[in-house]
Chains A and B, each alone.
Chain A
């Protein structure tokens, strides 16, 4: 039987980090993350440690070590919640023939009103956001659309990577969500293969997967709107599980989310999307009423 690390390595996510104390990291590999805002770098993994500098938003940092809620990088220490884990980035080759699905390979991909760098900004798609490419220009621009196929703007091609279908590793996938612990457990039949933190709320009960949508979805959280929400797993009760590239508060009650939405790390969503199928069961366990403060 495979160890969890071996399984995850085969699944291509062994070197990836997840947003919780259960981050998995290969012993000798360097992993990457992008800063979500102007990020303070501190001399030690403590809130009141001396401030060394600020990192730009959307800076790629190499994660050398994980220490609880802190990451050690070459620059110093940054808070885990301040970054989004990401895959290594290299500018991508231009694909001349649309349509196709594409994910953001860069830390972020601006979508503009027309195909010029100084065009008005319409939206920004974070790392591993997914959009539908419906048009291409020979000067290296893609016209991207939402899931309905309507083009919403233009984006530079080398920020995007063509979405590839991945092989399912699980034979009998089953998902279990513990809303009390903010945790998702992934099973293959009766064997737990992965657990990862989540944010958001789903109705308690037993649900099944009704539809899978790789991306192009728009999602509003509070006053903010996010396009290209990736790897959406829709459930029979109207709820959904999807990747969220705009925060890293998985596993905590801090992240705002719409009712009926469960957010997971885009890295996890990118893997999970190809493991589940129609009618995959997801059980949602409620918060323990005995623990609720009245």
Chain B
């Protein structure tokens, strides 16, 4: 018997996200190709969260005060902020409460001033170990200073000024940490020798907020060859992503090619698969990082309190037509 190319229709359940994808040969779904990595989501598409009303702060009314354990406390206004040498980078931003495969993770091209330049301006004292961050909506958090090496005081996103819901006039961007460590509408940074139990930390969430290594399946669609194309993302925070692998039905792990637009950006991956026949097949994806860590089945699945690095799975059902 010759294995002719059968025709299949597929349906997929991306377990955690609850996304159901129905595809057939006549209605192919858009694919996240290598080229489309550059098509970062519009500001309106990137997820955002805030405690209460979105503060509406004009550029003229905004200021950011640097004080605490510093030699030269100072206040920065918007015009002065824009005079500092700026930097752009693609950086991921994710929510610590995101379950495996959740959608509270995205990336954008951020433009702003390296926070280290501003810290140098303030002249931080050696006894300072933490930065307490205060926002205009009353939100508070604190960050260990060692996490701020690549932090950015961002004022633009994807080539445009921040939208109010994303923190206009300025927000903090701290690569490698979860989003609750990157306050929007930041108005005050106080350097201290001790941490501060901020809004989420006082409710039991991690005081450190270090982003866990993760991988997720974002799309399952039928391809022109009659099989399935799976695509997704992977992220290792401030660590380097070493590899992404995918398995089907608990079998051996298959390496997947990835592409990222920057050290702190999401890695995007895509792979094709041809089913042997009809049935239901379970795909799992895992990432490994430069610390030697590899996601495993034993990872704690609940996001509280440190985020989760549990594996993400998708069920693909194949029917023969």
Contact = CB atoms under 8 A, between A and B. Distances in A.
Interface in B249-264: 249-255
Interface in B262-309: 273-274, 276-282
A62 interface: yes
B317 A117 contact: yes
Interface string A83-124: 000001111000000000000001110100000011001001
A90 B1 contact: yes
B81 interface: no
Contacts of B60: none
Interface residues of A, number: 27
Interface string B1-32: 11100000000010100000000000000000
A57 B254 contact: yes
A32 interface: yes
B3 A106 contact: no
A18 B301 CA distance: 44
Contacts of A89: 3, 276-277
Contacts of B253: 38
Given A89-B277, A124-B249, A54 B2 contact: no
Nearest to B317: A117
A108 B251 contact: yes
Contact of A118 (B254, B255, B274, B313): B313
A230 B297 CA distance: 29
B248 interface: yes
Contacts, number: 70
Interface magnitude class on chain B: 20 to 34
Given A88-B1, A117-B282, A37 B252 contact: yes
B83 interface: no
Q: Which of B247, B249, B255, B278 has the most CB of A within 10 A?
A: B249
What is the interface of chain A mostly: helix, strand, loop, or mixed? loop
A58 B251 contact: yes
B2 A30 contact: yes
Interface string A41-59: 0000000000000101111
A158 interface: yes
Contact of B249 (A37, A38, A62, A121): A121
Given A156-B279, A158-B278, A62 B3 contact: yes
B254 A54 contact: yes
Contacts of A90: 1, 277
A104 to B, nearest CB: 11
Contacts of A107: 276
B3 A60 contact: yes
A110 B276 contact: no
Contact of B279 (A32, A36, A158): A158
B320 interface: yes
B246 to A, nearest CB: 9
Nearest to B256: A54
Contacts of A158: 277-279
Contacts of B282: 110, 117-118, 121
A108 B248 CA distance: 11
A58 B253 CA distance: 11
B277 A36 contact: no
B151 interface: no
Given A38-B253, A158-B278, A158-B279, A57 B3 contact: no
A273 interface: no
Contacts of B251: 57-58, 108, 124
B244 to A, nearest CB: 13
A124 B3 CA distance: 24
A205 B282 CA distance: 47
A159 interface: yes
A-B pairs with the 3 shortest C-beta distances?
A117-B280, A57-B252, A121-B250
26 contacts: A30-B2, A32-B3, A37-B252, A38-B252, A38-B254, A56-B273, A57-B247, A58-B251, A59-B276, A60-B276, A62-B3, A89-B276, A90-B277, A91-B277, A91-B279, A106-B276, A110-B250, A117-B280, A117-B281, A117-B282, A118-B13, A118-B313, A118-B315, A124-B250, A158-B277, A159-B279
Interface of A: 30, 32, 36-38, 54, 56-60, 62, 88-91, 106-108, 110, 117-118, 121, 124, 156, 158-159
